[in-house]
Amino acid sequence: MDFLHKKMLPSTLKEYKRTFYAFVFALLLVNVHDSSCFNLDTSDATRVTRTGAAGSLFGFSVDFHGQGDSAWLLAGAPKSQTAQPGVTEGGAVFRCDVTTSISLTPNPCAPIAFDTQGDDRGVDLQGNILQKTQKSGQWFGATVKSASPAKDVVIACAPRYVYYTDTFNEREPVGNCFLAAANFTQIRNYSPCKRALDSDWQSNIGWNQVSYCQAGFSADFSPTGPQDRNTHHCQCHTCPHLCCMLLVVPTFMFFVVVFLFPIPDSQGGFGRLGYCQAGISLDFANDAEQLLLGAVGSYFWQGQLFSKTLTYDNGVPNLGGDEKKTAEGDAWKDDFHMGYSTASGEFTGDNVPEYVVGVPRGPGSPDHLKGHVAIYDSNLAVLQAMPEKTALIGEQMGSYFGYSLVVQDVNGDGLDDIIVGAPMYSSPREHQWDLGRVYVYHLEQPGLSPVFSEPTILSGKVSSGRFGTSIAALGDINQDGFNDIAVGAPYQTGEGDNMGAVYIYHGSAEGIREEPSQEIKASDFPEPLSAFGFSVAGAKDVDNNRYPDVAIGAYEADSVVVLKSRPVVNADVTVQVEPEFIDTENKTCTLDDGTAVVCFDINICASYTGINVPDEVELKYEVTLDALKTVGQRVFFSGRETSQTWSSTLRKADPDSMCLTQKAFLRNDIRDKLSPITVAAAYSMADPVTPQPDQLLPILNMNQPSRRTRQVNILKDCGPDNICVPDLKVFVSMQGTEIVVGSDKQLLMDVVVENAGEGAYEALLSVMLPEGVDFVGTGNPRGGAIITCNLQEEDQRLLVCDLGNPFTARRTQLGLRLSTVQLTGDSNSLNFAFSVNSTNAEEPGNEGDNHITFPVPVKVNASLSVRGVSLPEQVVFMKMERENEEITHERDIGPEVTHRYEIRNVGPSDISSSKLKIQWPVHTRTGEDLLYLLAVNVTQGNGRCTVNGDVNPKGVSTESASAAQTAEALYALDSSRAARHRRAAATSDKEVAQMPVPQVNDLQVNDTEDCINAECIVIDCTLERLNKDNIAVVQIRSRLWVDTLLEGGFKETTLTSVADFEVLEFPYAITADVLPTARAEIVTTANPSKPSVGKRPVPLWIIILSACAGLLLLVLIILVLFKCGFFKRQTMQEYTAIKRNPPTSESPDASSGYISDKTDY
């Protein structure tokens, strides 16, 4: 077996088709602190980095080891080249000095001499010396574990160690481990699966019992058929159906004895322990008196847990103690991979540790491949089933829940908690794979069936990062009384070639904190690091400052980084103001220019505590006045500034050593006298100007707030208690009664907010908009104050309007303009939730009118436009000249007549299905052909038409419509004057088109051929989706049957088709109240080419009436002229006399004027 069994290395990542996606990781802030910086110091001054040979995978496993004040780093390098003869890349474990960042020794890391021998050799039955083991590529150092401080013992394993059975024909990757004690001077070998194979061969075969029997003189196998895989008896991975062996044994005097017996239950092969890979996980329990080994390959990769009792002689472990192992399970447990991780804890309350083991491909139906964690007692009997809700089962198939785990009390209740990793957890909805998760189960009730809390889930943030690949119990790294953990995400992408991150999570009384206190990324360091965080170890104080430190392995870079914990300072800072209420008229202070102002005192006092913290620390304060205002601050310091930086040195021996006091002044011209004045003091710890080499600087506790505030209230008109109690109310109305889906008309809503009480501070109007409704803007009618409204970034459906601060006792009106274009028509009603509130509370029971839900009906409707055009509008018919009387081509019938119907959805709603029913005059009442139907087509839009009759029933030859006619149709449909235009190309028949069109006044007889006077057929057209402003066109092409008109004596004839349009369905969940309909008709006029014009005499009554009318008109003219004096003209003599003696102004007739020359006539 040439790879570590699915241990998430690059070769196996390909097997699992691991895909990388690059995402930007958004670093979250905890309070006001940067989570990338807490008390693990990442600076170059204290960081310790150790490297191994290139390609050795140095750092694949890490741990700390030490006794007393001494401490070393243990780093596994499973592909390291060793001095073992004949062994290639056997692997090694290195012991490294980590006391200082710059090593005091020339070679800070040295390999531990666990095994200096080459491969073992053995003699087969023929006397050949053959290789007994294969240590090349065994991956020694893939796991390493220290028992300190309980014992001076270290164990390291080679899970890919290969052993050959005594017959030398089976290659068994059983795994192999070595224990080192007494400062690595005493070495012990432990390989439980190898020992099982040896004891199995000796006990079952027993060659010493049949000396000289010459067994195997002849032999054969007897096939017995398939066996039950639940037992795995008599199975071989090369011949699984051969279970019995026939053996012929020649004995004394050549007598022959024949034996037929089954092959014993061999422990070899992948069906038993031959592929167990013991040591893929390991742990010490019960103060290192118990050794736990995981073996994932046992029993067809069901997996197995070994428990070995260790006894000690002068500190050296004795492996002769009791050994227990989990038994083989049923066949459905194959490939569960139990033993990927192991740990111990106390969960039953009997003070005897239990064993916890990860099973990442369990637990079977119905949670197949979700993974689970099993708990065994000290006799390796599984504990009783836990309640379903607290069972330690993964939540996603293939997440590899149980790949990593640790046991540690993180909430300080004295009970062990279980932390489980699932590094391949993915989020398919966000297309993020292998994010990884960690589940923290808090033990709530110990017992034979322990009860755990529902898990606290810590989630990876970067796709393909595999958060949870490693988990380490760190102890209490910040000395707050609660243990902490580290979680590795070794494949989290970073800057450049660097890859990997480690997250630190702090414990608390409520359990593990869900946000990391610190994120340590590979890109934080100058040296190239890859797979940073694949291994993590902690809980060991290597620099004796009483804070545990952390080691992080980056095997792809052959490096290990050791980070030391900084002492944590717990600062107690208080801010006081005096007085807390100020009166704007009480001006007791005077500025430098003599101006009298109101003032108040700001007092800041501080003290600190901590473990191993300096005797003196310096705190810096950034004090900001009126901190809630970015402009127009109302208070200032003596230098007219609104913020100052103060500093003080605190002494640990004198907790009350330092208080600072400063005065602040109130401006005289302030307008806002209602909102409080906030004084904010942000504090931090100053670093020394010249830090010492390797000096670990203290740091403030990030779990405490680093900012203190205090408020100063201005006395205001809110009663004697200076407490304003508002009484807010909201009223809503709308313009219109309903919303129509698809309408682009804005929805206008009027909102009235009233305060019938005292001032309301930070008064807000909140409107929860339904899905599909968008905010457009506001209007403030009736000259009200401008109110601003904005959608919230975290919820784009929540509209918040600022009513003022304070919103005094008044009534204000606000108009909302909303768009409903995005409505999908899923509901027949939209509910708008309005709410008005303020930071100061109302009287209990008065909040009912602060909220209102306003429903708005939603309808669907569509206006329709159905228009038609005839091509041509008029046709001329005449006797057709044919070569023979038989009609064979459509041209022989008569002129072409085409009717086109345009259906337009004016909106606002879309239409999903509709029907057009056309009545077509195909025959006269006597059954003769009239408009001979040739084709019906939907020329625009989607749909199809069926004819309740025959199309081209006589089967004449047809031709397509002429291009001129098509162009004419498009022009006619688009023109509002289509019915009044004359067509240049009236028909596709050239001969008919050249005939003169008769004048209307030449006609004598008019006929109408519609469905009342003719026989019609029905054309049904079903149209598919017709969105708003979309058009569908249906075209009916025919020929006018000229012979029918000529033989019937038809004169000017109108031919009419009628279309009825009906909407069948809207594409919404809402049902329409009424389905729209429309009707249109198209008229074509047919004229004969030579109309007969008859002559008839004028009737006598017309002559007499005309004469009388003429005489009467003459009499009337005469009477009018007479009244006008036309017949009273003067004589020439009178005219001459007047002309010679014109009248004067005194003359009685002067005022009458004079007679014009025209009167002479």
Question: Looking at residue 220, what DSSP letter applies?
Answer: E
At 177 the three-state DSSP class reads strand
pLDDT in the model for residue 996: 30
Is the pLDDT score of 5 beyond 70?
Answer: no
Residues 430 and 68: their CA atoms lie apart, in Å, by 50
In contact, 707 and 32? CB cutoff 8 Å: yes
Question: Looking at residue 715, what DSSP letter applies?
Answer: P
**pLDDT tier for residue 689 given thresholds of 50, 70 and 90:** low
In angstroms, the Cα distances linking 949 to 526, 919, 1015, 1082 are 87, 12, 12, 21
Average pLDDT over residues 583-604: 92
Return residue ranges of the chain for CATH 2.60.40.1530.
864-880+888-955+1007-1088
In contact, 650 and 601? CB cutoff 8 Å: no
CATH 3.90.550.10 fits 728-859, yes or no: no
Is the pLDDT score of 149 beyond 50?
Answer: yes
Is the pLDDT score of 988 beyond 90?
Answer: no
Residues 239 and 223: their CA atoms lie apart, in Å, by 9
Residues 618 and 569: their CA atoms lie apart, in Å, by 11
Return residue ranges of the chain for CATH 2.60.40.1460.
568-714
pLDDT in the model for residue 779: 79
Average pLDDT over residues 985-1001: 31
Is the pLDDT score of 846 beyond 60?
Answer: yes
Of residues 400 and 1125, the one with the higher pLDDT is: 400
pLDDT in the model for residue 1050: 84
Is the pLDDT score of 74 beyond 90?
Answer: yes
**pLDDT tier for residue 1045 given thresholds of 50, 70 and 90:** confident
Average pLDDT over residues 647-670: 81
Q: Give me the DSSP letters along 315-351.
A: TEEETTS-EEEPPP--GGGTT--BTSSEEEE--SSSS
Q: Give me the DSSP letters along 509-574.
A: TTSS-SS-SEEEEGGGSSS--SSEEEEEEEEE-SSSSSS-EEEEEEGGGTEEEEEEEPPEEEEEEE
Q: What is the dihedral of CA 1081, 1082, 1084, 1085, to 10 degrees?
A: 50
pLDDT in the model for residue 642: 82
Return residue ranges of the chain for CATH 2.130.10.130.
48-116+270-565
**In this structure, what are the phi and psi dihedrals at residue 683, rounded to the nearest 5 degrees?**
-125, 150
Average pLDDT over residues 641-659: 77
Give CATH for domain 864-880+888-955+1007-1088: 2.60.40.1530
Q: What topology does CATH give the domain 568-714?
A: Immunoglobulin-like (2.60.40)
Is the pLDDT score of 882 beyond 90?
Answer: no
- Beta strand pairing status for 290-295 and 281-285? antiparallel
- Max distance between CA atoms of the chain, in angstroms, equals 198
Of residues 255 and 904, the one with the higher pLDDT is: 904
What residues contact residue 128 under an 8 Å CB cut-off, 6+ apart? none
**pLDDT tier for residue 1151 given thresholds of 50, 70 and 90:** very low
Return residue ranges of the chain for CATH 2.60.40.1510.
728-859
Of 108-112, 183-187, 428-432, 1120-1124, which range is least confident? 1120-1124
Paired residues of 96 in beta bridges = 73, 109
Of residues 692 and 1134, the one with the higher pLDDT is: 692
Is the pLDDT score of 205 beyond 90?
Answer: no
Is the pLDDT score of 619 beyond 80?
Answer: yes
Of 142-146, 462-466, 700-704, which range is least confident? 700-704
Is the pLDDT score of 1154 beyond 90?
Answer: no
Is the pLDDT score of 1142 beyond 90?
Answer: no
**pLDDT tier for residue 700 given thresholds of 50, 70 and 90:** very high
**pLDDT tier for residue 1130 given thresholds of 50, 70 and 90:** low
Is the pLDDT score of 887 beyond 80?
Answer: yes
pLDDT in the model for residue 690: 63
In contact, 412 and 510? CB cutoff 8 Å: no
Average pLDDT over residues 721-736: 88
Report H helices in 185-316. Answer: 192-205, 298-301
Q: Where are the beta strands (DSSP E) in 780-895?
A: 788-791, 798-804, 811-819, 829-837, 851-859, 862-871, 874-877
Residues 151 and 180: their CA atoms lie apart, in Å, by 11
- Residues of the chain above pLDDT 90, percent: 54
Average pLDDT over residues 321-325: 93
In whole angstroms, how large is the CA radius of gyration of the chain? 51
Is the pLDDT score of 980 beyond 90?
Answer: no
pLDDT in the model for residue 1139: 62
Of 164-168, 374-378, 503-507, 745-749, which range is least confident? 164-168
* Span 496-536, pLDDT tens digits: 778 999 999 999 999 999 999 999 999 999 989 999 999 99
Q: What topology does CATH give the domain 48-116+270-565?
A: Methylamine Dehydrogenase; Chain H (2.130.10)
Question: Looking at residue 1005, what DSSP letter applies?
Answer: -
> Per the confidence metrics, is the pTM higher than 0.95?
no
Of 45-59, 648-662, 832-846, 951-965, which range is least confident? 951-965
* Span 77-96, pLDDT tens digits: 999 999 999 999 999 999 99
pLDDT in the model for residue 646: 83
pLDDT in the model for residue 213: 40
Is the pLDDT score of 247 beyond 80?
Answer: no
For the chain, the distance separating the N- and C-terminal CA atoms, rounded to the nearest angstrom, is 143
pLDDT in the model for residue 195: 79
Average confidence score pLDDT of the chain? 82
* Span 300-313, pLDDT tens digits: 999 999 999 999 99
Q: What would the two tokens of residue 566 be?
A: 């900084």
Q: Which one-letter amino acid corresponds to residue 5?
A: H
Nearest to 633 by CA among 702, 569, 680, 577: 680
Question: Looking at residue 675, what DSSP letter applies?
Answer: S
3-state secondary structure labels for all residues of 47-69: CEEEECCCCCCCCCEEEEECCCC
Of 77-86, 113-122, 1118-1127, which range is least confident? 1118-1127
pLDDT in the model for residue 761: 74
